[in-house]
Structure 1
Amino acid sequence: MHVVKRGGGAAVELFQAQSNSAAPTGAILFVHGNQGGRLLGAKEFADSGALLRFSSGLSITAAAVSQPGFGASDGPTDFCGPDTQQAIIVALSFLREQPCVDPDRIVLYGNSRGAVAAAMVAAQVADLRAIVLSSGVYDLKAAFENSSPGIRQAIESEAGLSSKAFMARSALHHAHKIRSEILLLHGRHDDRAPVAQAEAFSEALSDAGVPVALNVFECGHRIPREDSQAALRPFLKRAFEGGPTRY
């Protein structure tokens, strides 16, 4: 476990597993979702064995970052807003500086709430090798208007309801700033993040000239691992073995 600092000296927690390769390898950074109120943060990836599985399976460094208010990362939570985005950016910078990491082969992977923030980071960090976004929303105002009372309350309490707050968390409106290839994973029957969100974002990225692939699965918000892996494995293998595809 590592602790780095973001703006104001706030702590950002990371967990990391690295390959035994003598030469620098690629790296993947995971950004967790809501976690059902458990607030475990990145520790979930370490405890489940996901970091070791990705690290050994792809011969890369695999890391996970805790969003503000989760795990040992200083809060408060801000529903994927500027503080969360800054925590992810700081974690990416930490990875980039590791001798075991090839800075030109870093992939960012956000799930659910993590996908909302990771998509916004993609609009701010131009040198990522690729981005994977699973079960996210990319127009938060539209999502808010159609969400359950619980999600609406979380957005209002953590982010507020100003136009500025929605814009700072809605990657759909920043697609033209993104420079890295993107893989979108989404459930057709997702009742938290409607598939139309992924479809609209995919179209906006394509219109902006961003290489994008959208995979829609016959499931809800939680995509079965066996389904996501079928799309994820070849994408990551190409990302870590091939040359850059940023434009």
Structure 2
Amino acid sequence: MPEVTRHLIDRGDGAAVELFQVTATSAAPAGAILFVHGNQGGLRLGAKEFADSGALLRFSCGLNITAAAVSQPGFGASDGPADVCGPSTQRAIMAALAFLKEQPSVARERIVLYGNSRGAVASAMVAAELPDLRAVILSSGVYDLEAAFASGPPGLQRAIETEAGLSKQAFLSRSALHHAHKIRSEVLLLHGRHDDRAPLAQAEKFAEALSDAGAPVSLSIFECGHRIPRENSQSVLRPFLQSIFDPAVTYH
């Protein structure tokens, strides 16, 4: 049985980035998926959530790939402070992706980035900087942070103001809608129709912008709120991941 390993890597500026990983057992280099967590209800477990839940083992064994998860700054053992999906968070994700690319078990051309909620916001921005990602999966994200701030609940507004500030540059550097023309990877958007934290209109506008820019994109809408139940998302995720990693492998 593969084991979960924990790593501390350099973000590029001396700050530590925590990463948990299960390595593919294939003799030849295989694909990889990197998970980026959401807000976690204040627990700030970071990537440990994916190790403890068995998600890394499930994805690695089910698809015969390397499955990893990264802790955002201020979460888990990653150095902070948190910056609401901003430049420090984006650099942490890019450092984790660079670490994966150097693994002998990983086929560099088949790396998928999967961000949820807060993680989707940052992952979308990373996709604009790294056009060589095989695919990007974004679940329950916002892609125009200024619009989300204007209509969002007080808790979200406080977090943005405290961690990012309210300047035009702060919003621009966290709003992938304005960078959609730079994204070349295949994008799968997952969103709840009744999401009260990230309005569905955000995903719809982002999907339209990506399509207009020529990026392959699909939007799957579920009859739920901000949290998309696993039993709902699997009907979309399973065939999508199989088409990327190995059509002959069955994901459980």
Name the counterpart of 2:179: 174
- Within-5 A mapping of 1:155-234: 155-234=160-239
Q: Which moved more, 1:14-23 or 1:185-194?
A: 14-23
Distance across 2 between alignment mates of 1:172 and 1:237 = 28
Distance across 2 between alignment mates of 1:23 and 1:86 = 29
Name the counterpart of 1:120: 125
Distance across 2 between alignment mates of 1:239 and 1:122 = 17
Q: Structure 1 counterpart of 2:90, which letter? A: Q
Deviations 1:47-103 (A, max 9, x none): 000000000000000000000000000000000000000000000000000000000
Q: Structure 1 counterpart of 2:85, which letter? A: C
Q: Structure 2 counterpart of 1:75, which letter? A: G
Deviations 1:181-213 (A, max 9, x none): 000000000000000000000000000000000
Name the counterpart of 2:3: none
- Within-5 A mapping of 1:41-120: 41-120=46-125
**CA RMSD for the aligned pairs?**
0.7
> Is 2:14 aligned against 1:9?
yes
Distance across 2 between alignment mates of 1:173 and 1:30 = 23
Number of aligned residue pairs: give it.
Answer: 242
Distance across 1 between alignment mates of 2:24 and 2:174 = 34
Q: Secondary structure at the match of 2:189?
A: strand
Distance across 2 between alignment mates of 1:187 and 1:53 = 24
Distance across 1 between alignment mates of 2:123 and 2:209 = 16
Q: Please, what TM-score do these two structures have when normalized by structure 1?
A: 0.97
Q: Structure 2 counterpart of 1:175, which letter? A: A
Q: List gaps (5 residues or longer) in structure 2.
A: 1-5, 248-252
Distance across 2 between alignment mates of 1:106 and 1:89 = 12
Q: Structure 1 counterpart of 2:241, which letter? A: L
Distance across 1 between alignment mates of 2:36 and 2:238 = 18
Q: Secondary structure at the match of 2:129?
A: coil
> Is 2:240 aligned against 1:235?
yes
Q: List gaps (5 residues or longer) in structure 1.
A: 243-247
Name the counterpart of 1:245: none
Name the counterpart of 2:150: 145
Q: Please, what TM-score do these two structures have when normalized by structure 2?
A: 0.95
Q: Structure 2 counterpart of 1:19, which letter? A: A
Deviation for aligned residue 1:20 = 1.4
> Is 2:32 aligned against 1:27?
yes
Q: Structure 2 counterpart of 1:62, which letter? A: A
Q: Secondary structure at the match of 2:13?
A: helix
Structure 1 residue runs of 4 or more that deviate by more than 6 Å after TM superposition: none
Distance across 2 between alignment mates of 1:124 and 1:236 = 22
Distance across 2 between alignment mates of 1:206 and 1:219 = 25
Q: Secondary structure at the match of 1:8?
A: coil
